[in-house]
Chains A and B, each alone.
Chain A
Amino acid sequence: MAEGGHSPLSQFEIHPIIPIEIGGTDISFTNSSMFMLIALVLISVFLIGGMRRNALVPGRWQVAAEMSYEFIAGLLRDTVGSEGRKYFPIVFTIFMFVLFGNLLGMVPYSFTFTSHIIVTFAMAAVVFIGVTILGFAKHGFHFFTFFVPPGVSVALWPLLIPIEIISYLSRPISLSVRLFANMLAGHTLLKVFAGFVFALSFAGVVPLAFIVALTGLEILIAFLQAYVFTILTCLYINDALHLH
């Protein structure tokens, strides 16, 4: 590791592995891209390998693969209804990608790509732009009534419509900041407490025990944040399909 290798934040540094530059733009294959690729490979192995036998009475692996599928299918059915079935592929992809990104980050010496706001913001922007296009495709210009709160007198529209528009535009920001901040804070906290272990010599057992508990909590948060990201995607799809 380079200089400052002991900083709790050095785990978030991005190093190019294969430097590529096209037209003055740096598009190097970095450690971040590598872990995204690893996540994709792991997801494929998990799902394809789990369903390889396709048994009527599933084994453990197949149950795990089917459970993740049914979990998201159920989530989509509960929040959007049967019309949401069309959007299952994108929602399931987002869920698995975020989940495996979060969980891969829990492996020591690995890199957490979901702890970078540009990654989470790109995903949130895809969801936001996609949902907006969906709303326009479904309702045309009628979609603008989404910004008019129902049952409010016309006199208040100039005040309330800007608020509604800001509220709508804040969606991708809250979606991305939440995931990024959770991952960044959790991993930094782990590293800070890991530093205490060494500094306190024998009394270091106390922070060590704390790290064990914190690791469990982090794994829980990895699941929860993937779940939250997914359920909000479902809710936004629902809003676009049904308006109010």
Chain B
Amino acid sequence: MSEDGNGNGTGGDLGSRVRAAQARRRRHAGGDGQDGDDRRETGRGIAFAFRLGTELVAGLIVGVGGGLLLDRWLDSGPWLMVVGFILGSAAGILNVYRTVEGAERARRGRGGN
């Protein structure tokens, strides 16, 4: 980005307009301009929490669903569903663990924070 931003063809002195908008925003947010970032951070947190929930449930769905299908196919009573439930729970927890591990690695990779 050039300092003056004059050559963009949309008119106006872009640089000074950006500075004015930033100053206005700082005043709005009470000093440090963290307001918008904060809200975005909250949204990302909600999305991440929801992601963990679906990871957990998805493991269970596959485990129990697969168990039920195998039960119907092999006519083996509820037993494979029970096994599928246990393995599915384990897979769900494994999913959650992997997701958090990956997020943690990404956060550390970005340099603390």
Contact = CB atoms under 8 A, between A and B. Distances in A.
A-B complex is real: yes
A202 B7 CA distance: 52
Interface size class of B (residues with CB under 8 A): 20 to 34
A173 B91 contact: no
A33 interface: no
A182 B58 contact: no
A174 B50 contact: no
Contact of B54 (A55, A178, A235): A178
Interface string B48-78: 0011001101110111001000000000000
Say what secondary structure dominates the interface of chain A. Answer: helix
A59 B102 CA distance: 37
Contacts of B84: 166
Nearest to B39: A220
A170 B61 contact: yes
* Main secondary structure on B side of the interface with A: helix
A58 to B, nearest CB: 7
B87 A166 contact: yes
A173 B62 contact: yes
Interface in A140-176: 162-164, 166-167, 169-171, 173-174
A170 B59 contact: yes
B43 A162 contact: no
Given A59-B9, A178-B50, A166 B43 contact: no
Contacts of A208: none
A38 interface: no
B95 A174 contact: yes
Contacts of A182: 50
Contact of A163 (B7, B39, B50, B87): B87
A177 B57 contact: yes
B43 A224 contact: yes
B82 interface: no
A47 B104 CA distance: 35
A181 B84 CA distance: 24
A228 interface: yes
Contacts of B51: 174, 178, 228
Interface residues of A, number: 26
A235 B102 contact: yes
B54 A57 contact: no
A170 B92 contact: yes
Given A55-B9, A221-B47, A225-B47, A166 B54 contact: no
A164 B92 CA distance: 10
Interface string B75-103: 00000000010011011101100100010
Interface in A205-243: 217, 220-221, 224-225, 228, 235
A86 interface: no
B8 interface: yes
Interface string B36-49: 00011001100100
28 contacts: A57-B7, A59-B8, A59-B9, A60-B10, A162-B87, A163-B91, A166-B63, A166-B66, A166-B87, A166-B88, A166-B90, A167-B59, A170-B55, A170-B58, A170-B88, A171-B58, A174-B54, A174-B55, A174-B57, A177-B54, A178-B51, A181-B50, A181-B54, A182-B50, A220-B43, A221-B43, A224-B43, A224-B44
